[in-house]
RNA sequence: GGAGAGGUAGCAUAGUCUGGUCUAAUGCGCACGCCUGGAGAGCGUGUACGGUUAAAACCCGUCGCAGGUUCAAAUCCUGUCCUCUCCGCCA
């Protein structure tokens, strides 16, 4: 959520941000109008409240019954006026909130302006794609042939786009999770085990609600929401708290499954495990001071890259343009790994600086020093990494001519074998 | 799931029965000052958050949350969430 003071004082900054994000700007004018209305009504009702408060005090001391009754009657009328104003106020505030919470974050000035994902900028590519002396197979062929990936039974259990990992396939994924968490722990992130179901407010604070309601699974009976990413519970770990400056920065990492109800285009990404309603992810998250978030973003990017490097994967770093960065983000880097079997660059990580946008929604503040005013923290999040696509990259890059898959060095101890055959 | 007790500003407690000197007190902690060679003790001062405002004072709001009664609610009423204890059930 944006600071209403900022919207009020620098509406052109917000308007330009919306234009750069290819978002409509009409709500901005409505916000400004509602804001004026709100403060106008507020002023009136506060004055009346002040009057009632002081007269009520007088009433308690009044001896003369007639005069007392007169004042009470007078205040009864004032109370009615206040009630009427409050009704108006609530209406205005509801509309104001609806609009302001739907405004995305203002992109960082360094985020390239662009109209679509085609305008994202490839900053660099690390490593050269492996050269094969045979035709590399896609993971859905490799996995099924090896008996470590079962689409049919996944569909039997849950429908299209679900799958089962068997034996070494399941072990490989678990190995990746464990290794990634260990790596991030070494990098200074504290591992957390989190709820996979959260309440509404938790999703609101992370910027998922109300705008992305359609992408979430919701248990109506108990009002539990399945997390679409660990970013959601991680953001709220310190919700409503005032941290002290010497606690910052706080680094966390967590493994969670992610549940997404996205309406997938028929025919797109249908094959394999690239996109599903359920996937696993290891996530990094950070709370820090405003002046350090730029540098921390670079650290988090490096930490995510370390996963790709450790696995010996060829990857490229992209900087997302204004129309492709997430709702809460100011600046985002994507990591894409090369998958030779399906011949695609796969997005395995998205590392973002959200500035104070999430902190404002989640009410996460810190005090610079004793006695100082509280300020909002900055939050950053980054995948480290998304599991299915990492699995794809590992399977397809480490395949051999006979269809077996060499286990990357760093995972061998966890998988318990050198080659999956 | 059943019964009971509770939720007050960093922590711990008072206030609730009996509505108005509650403009929320007290202790601890913390910060600053005095004192000291230095520290401690002692003394003094300060110490929730949000809104309003150019900023501040004043002012308005917040005693888990949401409603209601009243001129006036921490206090009375209703609903709800959470915590603890006991019972039941369960991995």
Indicate whether A240 pLDDT > 90.
Answer: no
Q: Are A280 and A385 in contact (CB under 8 A)?
A: no
Return the pLDDT at A67. Answer: 87
Question: Are A184 and A42 in the same domain?
Answer: no
Between A275 and A210, residue with greater pLDDT: A275
Distances (CA, A) of A61 to A64, A94, A274, A291: 9, 39, 75, 55
Indicate whether A391 pLDDT > 70.
Answer: yes
Give the CATH number of the domain where residue A58 resides. Answer: 1.10.287.40
Indicate whether A329 pLDDT > 80.
Answer: yes
Q: What is the 3-state secondary structure (H, E, C) of chain A?
A: CCCHHHHHHCHHHHHHHHHHCCCCCHHHHHHHHHHHHHHHHHHHHHHHHHHHHHHHHHHHHCCCHHHHHHHHHHHHHHHHHHHHHHHHHHHHHHHHHHHHCCCCCCCCCCCCCCCCHHHCEEEEEECCCCCCCCCCCCHHHHHHHHCCEEHHHHHHHHCCCCCEECCHHHHHHHHHHHHHHHHHHHCCCEEECCCCEECHHHHHHCCCCCCCHHHCCEECCCCEEECCCCHHHHHHCCCCCEEEHHHCCEEEEEEEEEECCCCCCCCCCCCCCCCCCEEEEEEEEEEECHHHHHHHHHHHHHHHHHHHHHCCCCEEEEECCCCCCCCCCCEEEEEEEEECCCCEEEEEEEEEECCCHHHHHHCCEEECCCCCCEEECEEEEEEEEEHHHHHHHHHHHCECCCCCEECCHHHHHHHCCCEEC
Question: How many angstroms is C1' of B52 away from CA of A271?
Answer: 58
Indicate whether A267 pLDDT > 90.
Answer: no
Question: Are A121 and A209 in the same domain?
Answer: yes
What's the rounded mean pLDDT across residues A297-305? 98
Give the CATH number of the domain where residue A213 resides. Answer: 3.30.930.10
Closest nucleotide to A373: CA versus each C1':
B49
Question: Are A134 and A256 in the same domain?
Answer: yes
Bridge partners, A283 (sequence order):
A254, A383
Q: How many CB atoms lie within 10 A of CB A358?
A: 29
Question: How many angstroms is C1' of B37 away from CA of A286?
Answer: 46
Question: Are A125 and A80 in the same domain?
Answer: no
Return the pLDDT at A171. Answer: 97
Distances (CA, A) of A12 to A26, A98, A169, A190, A356: 13, 20, 53, 40, 19
Among A100, A130, A160, give the residue marking a domain's end.
A100
Question: Are A56 and A131 in the same domain?
Answer: no
What's the rounded mean pLDDT across residues A397-419? 97
Which residue's CA shows the smallest distance to C1' of B10?
A: A242
What's the rounded mean pLDDT across residues A78-84? 92
Look up residue A321 and give its two tokens.
């343009």
Return the pLDDT at A60. Answer: 85
pLDDT tens digits for A330-344?
A: 999 999 999 999 999
Q: Which residues of A33-58 are buried (b: 16+ CB within 10 A; e: fewer)?
A: ebbebbeebeeebeebeeebeebeee
Closest nucleotide to A4: CA versus each C1':
B51
The per-residue pLDDT of chain A, averaged, comes to: 93
- Whether omega before A192 lies within 30 degrees of 0, making that bond cis, reads no
Between A108 and A367, residue with greater pLDDT: A108
Return the pLDDT at A266. Answer: 61
Q: Measuring CA to CA, which residue among A313, A307, A46 is closest to residue A175? A: A307
Q: Which residues touch strand B (CB under 7 A)?
A: A 4-5, 39, 42-43, 46-47, 49-50, 52-57, 59-60, 72, 75-76, 79, 242, 365, 367, 370-371, 373-374
Indicate whether A101 pLDDT > 80.
Answer: yes
User: Would you place residue A125 in the very low, low, confident or very high pLDDT band (cuts 50, 70, 90)?
Assistant: very high
Q: Does the residue A311 lie in any domain?
A: yes
Return the pLDDT at A62. Answer: 83
User: Would you place residue A100 in the very low, low, confident or very high pLDDT band (cuts 50, 70, 90)?
Assistant: very high
Look up residue A341 and give its two tokens.
């079997």
Question: Are A133 and A92 in the same domain?
Answer: no
Q: Does the residue A298 lie in any domain?
A: yes
Question: Are A17 and A140 in the same domain?
Answer: no
Domain around A170: 117-420
The interface predicted TM-score of the complex, written ipTM, equals 0.86
Return the pLDDT at A322. Answer: 97
Q: Measuring CA to CA, which residue among A218, A225, A364 is closest to residue A287? A: A364
Return the pLDDT at A270. Answer: 75
Q: Does the residue A111 lie in any domain?
A: no
Question: Are A86 and A151 in the same domain?
Answer: no
Q: Measuring CA to CA, which residue among A187, A297, A198, A311 is closest to residue A253? A: A187
Question: How many angstroms is C1' of B42 away from CA of A226?
Answer: 58
Return the pLDDT at A265. Answer: 66
Return the pLDDT at A370. Answer: 75
Percent of chain A with pLDDT over 70: 99
Indicate the number of domains in chain A.
Answer: 2
Q: Are A332 and A109 in contact (CB under 8 A)?
A: no
Q: Does the residue A110 lie in any domain?
A: no
Closest nucleotide to A48: CA versus each C1':
B60
Closest nucleotide to A78: CA versus each C1':
B71
Question: Are A89 and A161 in the same domain?
Answer: no
Among A68, A100, A132, give the residue marking a domain's end.
A100
pLDDT tens digits for A27-65?
A: 999 999 999 999 999 999 999 999 999 999 888 888 788
User: Would you place residue A211 in the very low, low, confident or very high pLDDT band (cuts 50, 70, 90)?
Assistant: confident
Q: How far apart are CA A391 and CA A146, in angstroms?
A: 14
- Whether omega before A249 lies within 30 degrees of 0, making that bond cis, reads yes
Question: Are A255 and A389 in the same domain?
Answer: yes
pLDDT tens digits for A175-205?
A: 999 999 999 999 999 999 999 999 888 998 8
Closest nucleotide to A59: CA versus each C1':
B71
Q: Does the residue A349 lie in any domain?
A: yes
Positions in chain B where some atom is under 7 Å from a protein CB: 20-21, 30-31, 49-53, 55, 59-61, 70-72
- Kindly list the catalytic residues of A: 260, 275, 347, 350, 389
Distances (CA, A) of A38 to A50, A90, A285: 18, 9, 36
Q: Does the residue A108 lie in any domain?
A: no
Provide the sign of the torsion angle of the four alpha carbons A58, A62, A67, A72, taken in this order: positive
Q: Does the residue A149 lie in any domain?
A: yes
Question: How many angstroms is C1' of B41 away from CA of A246?
Answer: 30
User: Would you place residue A372 in the very low, low, confident or very high pLDDT band (cuts 50, 70, 90)?
Assistant: confident
| Cα separation of the two ends of chain A | 51
Please identify which residue in the block is written with the tokens 């978030």.
A293
Question: How many angstroms is C1' of B85 away from CA of A227?
Answer: 34
Between A211 and A410, residue with greater pLDDT: A410
Return the pLDDT at A46. Answer: 92
Question: Are A122 and A61 in the same domain?
Answer: no
Q: Does the residue A109 lie in any domain?
A: no
Q: Measuring CA to CA, which residue among A393, A384, A394 is closest to residue A415? A: A394
Q: How far apart are CA A121 and CA A253, in angstroms?
A: 27
Among A45, A75, A100, give the residue marking a domain's end.
A100
**Most confident option among A214-223, A268-277, A359-368:** A359-368
Return the pLDDT at A80. Answer: 92
Question: How many angstroms is C1' of B32 away from CA of A9?
Answer: 36
Percent of chain A with pLDDT over 90: 81
Question: Are A64 and A146 in the same domain?
Answer: no
């Amino acid at each position: 959520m944006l600071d209403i003071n900022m919207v009020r004082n620098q509406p052109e900054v917000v308007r330009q941000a919306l234009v750069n994000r290819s978002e409509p700007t009409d709500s901005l004018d409505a916000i400004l109008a509602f804001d004026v209305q709100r403060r106008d009504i507020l002023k009136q009702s506060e004055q009346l409240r002040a009057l009632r408060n002081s007269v009520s005090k007088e009433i308690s001391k009044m001896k003369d019954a007639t005069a007392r009754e007169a004042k009470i009657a007078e205040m009864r009328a004032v109370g009615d006026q206040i009630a009427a104003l409050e009704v108006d106020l609530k209406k205005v505030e509801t509309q104001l909130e609806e609009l302001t919470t739907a405004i995305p974050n203002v992109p960082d000035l360094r985020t390239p302006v662009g109209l679509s994902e085609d305008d994202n900028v490839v900053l660099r590519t690390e490593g050269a794609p492996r050269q094969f002396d045979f035709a590399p197979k896609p993971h859905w062929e490799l996995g099924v042939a090896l008996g470590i990936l079962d689409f049919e039974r996944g569909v039997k259990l849950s429908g299209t786009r679900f799958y089962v990992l068997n034996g070494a396939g399941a072990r490989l994924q678990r190995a990746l999770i464990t290794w990634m968490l260990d790596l991030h722990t070494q990098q200074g992130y504290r591992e957390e085990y989190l709820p996979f179901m959260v309440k509404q407010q938790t999703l609101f604070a992370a910027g998922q609600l109300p705008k992305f309601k359609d992408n979430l699974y919701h248990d109506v009976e108990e009002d539990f929401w399945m997390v679409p990413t660990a970013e959601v519970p991680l953001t709220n770990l310190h919700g409503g708290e005032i941290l002290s400056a010497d606690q910052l920065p706080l680094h966390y990492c967590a493994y969670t499954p992610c549940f997404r109800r996205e309406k997938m285009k028929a025919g797109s990404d249908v094959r394999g495990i690239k996109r599903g309603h359920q996937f696993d992810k290891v996530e990094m998250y950070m709370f820090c001071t405003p002046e350090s978030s730029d540098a921390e973003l670079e650290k988090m990017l490096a930490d995510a890259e370390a996963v790709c490097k450790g696995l010996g994967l060829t990857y490229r770093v992209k900087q997302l343009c204004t129309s492709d960065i997430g709702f809460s983000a100011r600046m985002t880097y994507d990591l894409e790994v090369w998958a030779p079997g399906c011949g695609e660059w796969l997005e395995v990580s998205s590392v973002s600086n959200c500035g104070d946008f999430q902190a404002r929604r989640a009410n996460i503040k810190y005090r610079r020093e004793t006695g100082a005013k509280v300020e909002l923290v900055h939050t950053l999040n980054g995948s480290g990494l998304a599991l299915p696509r990492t699995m794809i990259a590992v399977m397809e890059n480490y395949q051999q001519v006979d269809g077996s898959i060499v286990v990357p060095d760093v995972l061998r101890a966890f998988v318990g074998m050198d080659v999956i055959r």
